[in-house]
Amino acid sequence: MTSPRGRFVLSTLLAVAVAASAALAQSAAPLSPVGLRAAALRDEALAGNRALEIVRSLTVEVGPRSAGSPGDAAAVAWALRTLGGMSFDRVWSEKVMVPHWVRGSAEGAILTPHPQTVVLVALGGSVATPAAGLEAPVVMVDSLEALDALDTGQVAGKLVFFNGRMARTRDGSGYGQAVAPRGRGPAAVAKKGGIGMLLRSVGTRLDRLPHTGATRYEEGVPRIPAAALSGPDADLLEAQVASGKPVKFRLLLTSEALAEAESANVLAEVRGRDEGGEIVLLACHLDSWDLGHGALDDGAGCAIVIEAARRIGELAQPPRRTIRILLAANEEFGLSGARAYATAHQDEIGRHAIAAEADMGAGKVYRFSTHVGADALTTMAEIGRLLSPLGVEMGAGNDASGGADLIPLVQARVPVADLDQDASTYFDHHHSANDTFDKIVPEELTQAVAAYVTFAYLAAELPGPFGPAPEVAPR
C-alpha cells in the first residue's frame, strides 16, 4: 500500500529523475569545436601547470609588498620581468599613486586586574598612540550596533574592544559579516569620545598571530589608534572583562603615514584575432599586507590569472577576443589600482566583454556565478557545463559581485563572473604573518587554474554580447 507520504516521495523522486535525465541529455550533447578546445585546455591545465612556480617566485623574490613599500616596487619589477618572459603580445605598467603607511611597532598589555602582555598589531592606516602609549579602561562590545546602544558616558576616555567572532564558511561570507568594526570602528568609537580601539582579529584560526587589514577614519572625527589582538589574546581580555573587575589596558603604536608613493598597475595581453577589440579582463592584486609573504592574498590569485592567460597565449590560433590581465596596485589600502585602471581605460570600458578577479586564496573553485545581461545566460550556462567536470556548480541568481578591483567596472555595467573558491581555511591565514607559500595546496591551485583557463577561453570565443549587466547600487 502506498501512503500519501509515500506517493509524495515517489513523485518527488520521479521529478528529480526527469530533471536529472534532462541534464544528462544536455551534458551528453556533443561539444562544439570551441567547447572541445576549452575541454582540452581545461584537462591539460589540470594535468600540470606553472601557477605554483609563479607564486613561489613572487614570495621568494619579493615577499611582503604593501602599498608604497620597497616590496611594492620590487613586485612591479617582478611582474614586468615575469610576464615579459611569457607568451604575451604586450606587457606594460601604468603609474598609480598609492598611500604609504608604515606599521612601526605595537605593544599591548592588560594592566588590571591581572597584568599580562598581549599580542596585537596595528590595523592598516592606524595613527600612532602618544609616544609613551595610552592607558585607559576597556569597554567590551560585540558589534557596531552594540556600541551604538552605549551612552557617550560609557565610552568617553576608554578603549573600546570589539570582540565579535568570525564564522568559518566556504563562501567567505563570515568575513563580510565580521569585518565592519575593523573599517568603521575607530570613527564610531571616537564619535562617542573613546580614545582607542581594540579588535578581536577577523580570522578563523586560534593561533597567536593577529590579522591586520585596513581601517578608515572619517573627515572631522578624531583619529584614534586601532589594533587587532590575536584570537587567544582576545579570549584572555574577554575573560578578564567578564570577571566584572575593572580592566585597564596599555596600548603603544608607532605607526606613521608617509607621503604618497608611486606604484603601478601591471598589465599583459594575449591579443584577440577579432577587429572589434573586445576584452576579457582577468584581475588580481599585486600588493599584499606586510606581515606575511602574500602567498594566498593575493599571490595565488595573480598566479592563477597569469597562468590561465599564458596558456591561451600559447595556442596556435589567438582567441577571438583579447585576454588582458590586470595585476592591480594597492587593493588592500584603498583600491588605488582599480580606480586608476577605470580612469585610464574609460574610453574602452564598453569593450570589456566580461571580467573576473581571483582574490580568494588558492582553494578550489566550487561555483561559477555571473552578473551578465539576460540574453547571455544561456552562453554562461555553456561555460558552466564545461566547468562542471572540475566539480564546479552553477550559481543561481545572476548576482555575482566581481572582485574588489572590479567595483568601478561593475558600476559601469561591465558583465562579471565569480569563480568562487573554497574559502573554508583562507581566513585562517589571511592578513596574518601566516600568509606564506606552504599554506597552498598544490592540487587545489591547479584546479583553480583549470577553471580560470576554461572560463577565459570560452569567454573569449563564445558569441556575445554578454552585457550590459544589470545596474547595481553603488558600493
Residues in the site for Zn ion, rule: CB under 5 A?
297-298, 359
Closest CA to 280 of 384, 351, 359: 351
Give whichever of 292 and 373 is closer to Zn ion, judged by the CB atom.
292
Nearer to Zn ion among residue 233 and residue 332 (C-beta): 332
For Zn ion, give the closer residue by CB, 233 or 359: 359
Ranges assigned E (strand) in 254-333: 256-270, 279-285, 322-328
Element (H, E) at 367: strand 365-371
- The three grid cell numbers given for residue 185, joined into one nine-digit string: 570602528
Least separation in angstroms between residue 295's CB and Zn ion is 12
Shortest Cβ 287–Zn ion spacing (Å): 8
- Dist CA 204 CA 268 (whole Å): 35
Min dist. Cβ of residue 91 to Zn ion (A): 22
Please, which residue, 38 or 328, has the CB nearer to Zn ion? 328
Minimum CB–partner distance for residue 289 and Zn ion (Å): 9
Cβ closer to Zn ion: 298 or 418? Answer: 298
CB of 201 to Zn ion, least distance (A): 16
C-beta separation of 302 from 70 below 8 A: no
CB distance 102 to 236 below 8 Å: no
How far is residue 184's CA from residue 216's CA, in Å, rounded to a whole number? 6
DSSP state of 214: B
Pairing outcome for strands 248-253 and 134-141: antiparallel
What's the closest the beta carbon of residue 426 comes to Zn ion, in angstroms? 10
CA-closest candidate to residue 403, choices 414, 415, 383, 418: 418
Which one, 278 or 297, has the nearer CB to Zn ion?
297
CB of 72 to Zn ion, least distance (A): 14
Nearest to 187 by CA among 235, 219, 227: 219
Contact at 8 Å (CB) between 264 and 95? yes
DSSP-derived secondary structure letter, 226: E
What lies within 8 Å, CB to CB, of 98 at 6+ separation is 67, 68, 72, 260, 261, 262, 263, 287, 329, 330, 333, 334, 336, 337
Q: Which is nearer to Zn ion, 359 or 420 (CB)?
A: 359
Nearer to Zn ion, 34 or 406 (CB): 406
Residue 338 φ/ψ region, left for φ over 0, alpha for ψ in the -120 to 50 degree band, beta for the rest: alpha
CB of 170 to Zn ion, least distance (A): 18
Nearer Cβ to Zn ion, position 298 or 428? 298
Query: Residue 296 has what DSSP assignment?
Result: I
Nearer to Zn ion (CB atom), residue 290 or residue 297? 297
Residues 6+ apart with CB under 8 A from 64: 71, 288, 289, 290, 291, 292, 293, 294
Nearest approach, Cβ of 331 to Zn ion (angstroms)?
6
CB of 335 to Zn ion, least distance (A): 11
